[in-house]
Chain A
Amino acid sequence: MKYKSQKVAYWFFALCMLLLVLQLTYGFIMGFARIGMDGLHEFIPFNTARAVHTNLLVVWLLAGFMGAAYYIIPEEAQRELVSVKLAYVQLISLAVVGVIAVVGYHFNHWEGRKFLEIPRELDYLVVVNVLLFLGLILATLFTGKRRTTTALVLTMGLLFAALLYLPGMIWFDSQVTDSFFRWWVVHLWVEGVWELIMGGILAYLLIKLTGVDREVIEKWLYVIVGLTFLSGILGTGHHYYYIGVNKIWLIVGGIFSALEPLAFLAMALFAMYMYRKGEKSHPNKIALFWTIGSSIVSFIGAGLLGFAHTLPQTNIYTHGTLVTAMHGHYAFWGAYAMIVLAIISYAIPNMTGRKRYNNSAGHLAFWLSNIGMLGMTVAFGVAGVAQVYLERKMKLDFMDVQNEISIHFVVLILCATMFTSGILMYIVEFLKYGKPTDEALEA
């Protein structure tokens, strides 16, 4: 750690860990409800559990991105953060808004718009919070000694993510128009600007971990984010096939979304190539595993599994089935959860001065969570394909099919248990050895 203010990141990462545990708890509630154990129905019905599960996911990932920015930007810009105090204010207000929203979901206080359930009055607080965050980051970057491409791409991703939140706040009378603009937030986040954030963090980590020349890494970073937007913006059309908007999207969405995996492929090749090419090898092997792992798993989860149902001819059968849930889990895990865990694994030893770079608990956490998540993906996938055949080909009743496939949710819960033990090991490591000290400052 070179700058004292980078320590702020620790508390954002701590918030990540807390929200992640809660997210998984609600995942289990849904998993059990699906095998008939719905004893909590009265207090936490499925729609509450679902809203909490997905919203906490988004909030902990955003907290992770913010933590990453507070860690990376001072180092890239070569100066302290403009205000540490305001960064803490921003952290606390983020946590408060998150808690109010999640508590509200237990009292039927929400907006039933998938992934954007936060009620509008809280949306305004989110906006203020994010403006404060962006203000701090931009002020640090533009008063710093240098503006690197890595820092610019990361910041651009965060800035666009904030702007794209706005179309989700408008009220529309028509359900179709509502969905149309909801995807401007949801799709253009995960298949657009969040990839800039991921690319920025990935580039930073590769520069640090492999020692490859910055100019080379940043050149390819431009190519990757270029591919992202080239395919991802018009690729939004893959959500417009069957929701009542014009047929033109069948062609546009089909072609461009089929190109989206290229950006993820490029990211995986980029990471592996830089790793091979790198002359100096950083001793932090655990961070390296998470970093390279993220680039590979995101290609499988987002690229391959996304492609599997993105053509209109397939999507007409899989749209709105558990096939989507399969892809959603592995894509979010590989691209965003793993990159956040990567930057945490890299940053923590630098903030504490403890060189826990290659210990077996850290490796075990990586493998347990990854194998567990792969198993969960397979369980969702098998359930989803069976659902598509029974329900949409054989035309069986929805609930009859659900009862038929419930066995796959037993498998899901077993794999989720393995996944969760990996995550808990990661968190124990974080809690035991993660506390930053000023002695860790490099002279």
Chain B
Amino acid sequence: MLSKSQARTFFLGGTLVTFLAFIGLTVYSFQPKNDQTNIKKLDAKAIKGKAIWEANNCMGCHTLMGEGGYYAPELTKVIERRGEGYVKAVLQSPIPWGPKGRKMVKYEMNDEDTEAMIAFLKWVGEIDLNGFDRVVSPLAKD
């Protein structure tokens, strides 16, 4: 029968091996040749967009790349689907946006912030998502 010290060895050994493999794979994932995000195209404007995305907790209602709340539509390919003009109207709307009943927070964003937000969403829209966008992207198309 298994002894307590063998059980401990199993715990410590298994942890060490998988932990090292995890670190190795992390390093591998972030090597430039394995990048799937067009990281070079990530400019100051898109980064500002990310800051605005976070400051308003947009993720509290929407998903982006499948992550976030389930209350409002997926936004990964929203620029491709709706176009910039539509997204701008949503962000700058003086009343809570909600054509189908469910309300969004009214942000009344200025032009500069809106453009940053659009740049961010555009950058996200071009990421290689291993096929997820093929399942999700058409779903909110009119």
Rounded to whole angstroms, the CA-CA distance of A229 and B22 in the bound complex is: 11
Determine whether A177 belongs to the interface, using a CB cutoff of 8 Å to chain B: yes
Chain A positions within 8 Å of B14 at CB level: 226-227, 229-230
Chain A positions within 8 Å of B86 at CB level: none
**A244 with B65: CB separation less than 8 A:** yes
**A243 with B55: CB separation less than 8 A:** no
Chain B positions within 8 Å of A252 at CB level: 25
| CB-based nearest B residue for A396 | B139
User: Interface code B124-136, partner A: CB below 8 Å = 1, 0 otherwise?
Assistant: 1001111110011
Chain A positions within 8 Å of B4 at CB level: 149, 215, 218-219, 222
**B37 with A244: CB separation less than 8 A:** yes
Distance in angstroms from B31 CB to nearest chain A CB is 9
**A226 with B15: CB separation less than 8 A:** yes
**A398 with B54: CB separation less than 8 A:** no
**A41 with B63: CB separation less than 8 A:** no
Rounded to whole angstroms, the CA-CA distance of A400 and B139 in the bound complex is: 11
Chain A positions within 8 Å of B83 at CB level: none
Chain B positions within 8 Å of A256 at CB level: 18
- How big is chain A's contact interface, by range? 35 or more
**A222 with B7: CB separation less than 8 A:** yes
Which of A10-18, A32-40, A75-83, A337-345 lines the interface with chain B? A32-40
User: Interface code B1-31, partner A: CB below 8 Å = 1, 0 otherwise?
Assistant: 0111001101100110011011001101110
Rounded to whole angstroms, the CA-CA distance of A321 and B15 in the bound complex is: 32
**A403 with B101: CB separation less than 8 A:** yes
**B30 with A177: CB separation less than 8 A:** yes
Give A235-277 interface residues, CB cut-off 8 Å to B: 236-237, 240-250, 252, 256
User: Interface code B53-76, partner A: CB below 8 Å = 1, 0 otherwise?
Assistant: 111111111011111111111100
Determine whether A322 belongs to the interface, using a CB cutoff of 8 Å to chain B: yes
**A46 with B57: CB separation less than 8 A:** no
Chain B positions within 8 Å of A229 at CB level: 11, 14-15, 18-19
Question: A112-B53, A112-B58, A175-B64 given as contacts; is B3 within 8 A of A47 (CB)?
Answer: no
**A234 with B22: CB separation less than 8 A:** yes
Rounded to whole angstroms, the CA-CA distance of A48 and B142 in the bound complex is: 29
Distance in angstroms from A302 CB to nearest chain B CB is 19
Determine whether A319 belongs to the interface, using a CB cutoff of 8 Å to chain B: yes
Question: A173-B42, A219-B3, A242-B66 given as contacts; is B11 within 8 A of A112 (CB)?
Answer: no
Q: Which of B3, B99, B130 has the most CB of A within 10 A?
A: B130
**A392 with B129: CB separation less than 8 A:** no
**B54 with A113: CB separation less than 8 A:** yes
**A248 with B101: CB separation less than 8 A:** no
Determine whether A111 belongs to the interface, using a CB cutoff of 8 Å to chain B: yes
Chain B positions within 8 Å of A47 at CB level: 57-61, 69, 71, 105
Rounded to whole angstroms, the CA-CA distance of A34 and B18 in the bound complex is: 41
**B138 with A395: CB separation less than 8 A:** yes
User: Interface code B68-94, partner A: CB below 8 Å = 1, 0 otherwise?
Assistant: 111111100000000000000000000
**B71 with A46: CB separation less than 8 A:** yes
Rounded to whole angstroms, the CA-CA distance of A325 and B136 in the bound complex is: 18
Determine whether A376 belongs to the interface, using a CB cutoff of 8 Å to chain B: no
Chain A positions within 8 Å of B135 at CB level: 316-317, 392
**B100 with A399: CB separation less than 8 A:** yes
Determine whether A421 belongs to the interface, using a CB cutoff of 8 Å to chain B: no
**A242 with B28: CB separation less than 8 A:** no
Give A22-67 interface residues, CB cut-off 8 Å to B: 30, 33-34, 36, 38, 41, 45-48, 50-51
| CB-based nearest B residue for A108 | B56
**A397 with B142: CB separation less than 8 A:** yes
Chain A positions within 8 Å of B57 at CB level: 47-48, 51, 108, 110-112, 117
List 9 contacting pairs A-B, 8 Å CB cutoff, sorted by A.
A111-B57, A112-B60, A114-B69, A174-B39, A175-B53, A175-B65, A179-B65, A243-B129, A244-B37
| Interface residues, chain A, with chain B CB atoms under 8 Å away | 30, 33-34, 36, 38, 41, 45-48, 50-51, 108, 110-114, 117, 149, 173-180, 215, 218-220, 222-223, 225-227, 229-230, 233-234, 236-237, 240-250, 252, 256, 316-317, 319-322, 324-325, 391-392, 395-400, 402-403
- Can you name 5 extra interface pairs (CB under 8 A) apart from A218-B4, A233-B21, A243-B129? A111-B57, A112-B56, A114-B68, A237-B25, A320-B74
| Interface residues, chain B, with chain A CB atoms under 8 Å away | 2-4, 7-8, 10-11, 14-15, 18-19, 21-22, 25-26, 28-30, 34, 36-37, 39, 42, 47, 50, 53-61, 63-74, 96, 99-103, 105, 120, 124, 127-132, 135-136, 138-142
